[in-house]
């Protein structure tokens, strides 16, 4: 038997309904087209400085000093400009040491400091939390001089350790607060289930909470690395010997100062491109954590 047509009772659309549906569809298409045009224009606007920097880094002296500015090289591409990376490798190494220590220990010690505030009860907890959070209201300029005096008394001035010693103390109240809020959103059923199974506090800390907080630790770690990599003020204040400086300050001291070397714009652009490689790689590798931020999970079902 032939199948019954299930649409035989559906009345055909009127001309007005068809016109209204086509008008709505055309409006949606126009809005989508405008949205994509705006997004493409914005992307071009934001990417143009980076494309300009890369293009300048590949130019020779003839193109870079031409009377009329040009966007792309005309007399040839000069990858030899990137030899400046090898010349400044000792300072890149100093920066890598700084960002590696900060990127690992700031989220780790911040997690250790946040755990008792979020999951445990102890005497004076509210007072300690209030004192910690009150440090956020202190401007950086206010604590700059006392911090310098303290570092000087500890022998940390003109010492690369001045750039990573604070990583062993949580890395600041904001990082600790972010982890506290993340842990508070996790149901305590995880802790209770682990206690019933015979786990102690140390096991809960490392085997239960640590894996669950891994995303927020990665987020804080990557943000710390990107921030420390481009930090200029800290190394400028505490580091004096050229061999101990990070790449940002060393390049400024040796190459970006006024003088004959300031004419080599192509080499300076090549160095700037080299400095963007690490943040770009980290962002591309961890863009889910960086864009999505901190995602709070819980018990399903």
Estimate the crossing angle of helix 214-229 against helix 173-184, to 10 degrees.
160
Three-state SS annotation for 172-184: CHHHHHHHHHHHH
Q: Is the pLDDT of residue 16 over 50?
A: yes
Q: Is the pLDDT of residue 10 over 70?
A: no
Estimate the crossing angle of helix 15-57 against helix 265-285, to 10 degrees.
130
CA pair distance 244, 164, nearest whole angstrom = 13
Q: What φ, ψ does residue 120 adopt, rounded to 5°?
A: -125, 160
User: Tens digit of pLDDT for each residue in 200-220?
Assistant: 888 888 888 888 888 888 888
Which listed CATH number (2.40.40.20, 1.10.10.10, 1.10.1060.10, 1.10.3720.10) goes with 82-292? 1.10.3720.10
Q: Say whether 5 sits in a helix, a strand or coil.
A: coil
Whether this model's pTM surpasses 0.85: no
The pLDDT of residue 162: 92
Q: Which two tokens stand for residue 111?
A: 């997690």
Q: Which two tokens stand for residue 296?
A: 């709070």
DSSP state, residue 155? T
Residue spans of the domains in the chain: they are: 15-81, 82-292
């Amino acid at each position: 038997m032939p199948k019954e047509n299930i649409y035989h009772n559906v009345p055909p659309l009127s001309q007005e309904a068809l016109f209204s549906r086509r008008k709505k569809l055309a409006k949606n298409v126009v809005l989508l087209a405008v949205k994509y045009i705006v997004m493409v224009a914005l992307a071009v606007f934001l990417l143009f400085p980076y494309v300009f920097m890369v293009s300048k880094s590949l130019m020779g002296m003839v193109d870079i000093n031409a009377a009329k500015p040009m966007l792309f090289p005309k007399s040839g591409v000069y990858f030899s400009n990137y030899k400046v990376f090898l010349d400044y490798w000792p300072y890149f190494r100093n920066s890598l040491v700084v960002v590696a220590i900060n990127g690992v220990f700031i989220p780790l010690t911040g997690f250790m400091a946040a755990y008792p505030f979020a999951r445990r009860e102890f005497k004076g907890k509210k007072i300690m939390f209030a004192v910690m959070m009150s440090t956020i209201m202190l401007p950086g300029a206010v604590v700059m001089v006392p911090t310098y005096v303290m570092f000087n008394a500890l022998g940390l001035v003109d010492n690369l350790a001045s750039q990573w010693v604070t990583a062993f103390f949580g890395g600041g109240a904001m990082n600790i607060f972010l982890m506290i809020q993340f842990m508070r959103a996790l149901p305590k059923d995880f802790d209770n289930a682990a206690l019933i199974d015979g786990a102690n506090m140390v096991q809960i800390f490392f085997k239960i909470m640590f894996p669950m907080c891994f995303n927020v630790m990665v987020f804080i770690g990557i943000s710390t690395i990107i921030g420390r990599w481009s930090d200029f003020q800290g190394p400028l204040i505490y580091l004096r010997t050229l061999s101990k400086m990070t790449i940002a300050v060393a390049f400024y001291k040796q190459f970006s100062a006024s003088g004959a070397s300031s004419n080599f714009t192509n080499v300076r652009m090549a160095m700037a491109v080299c400095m963007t490689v690490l943040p770009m790689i980290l962002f591309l590798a961890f863009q889910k954590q960086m864009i999505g931020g901190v995602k709070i999970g819980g018990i399903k079902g």
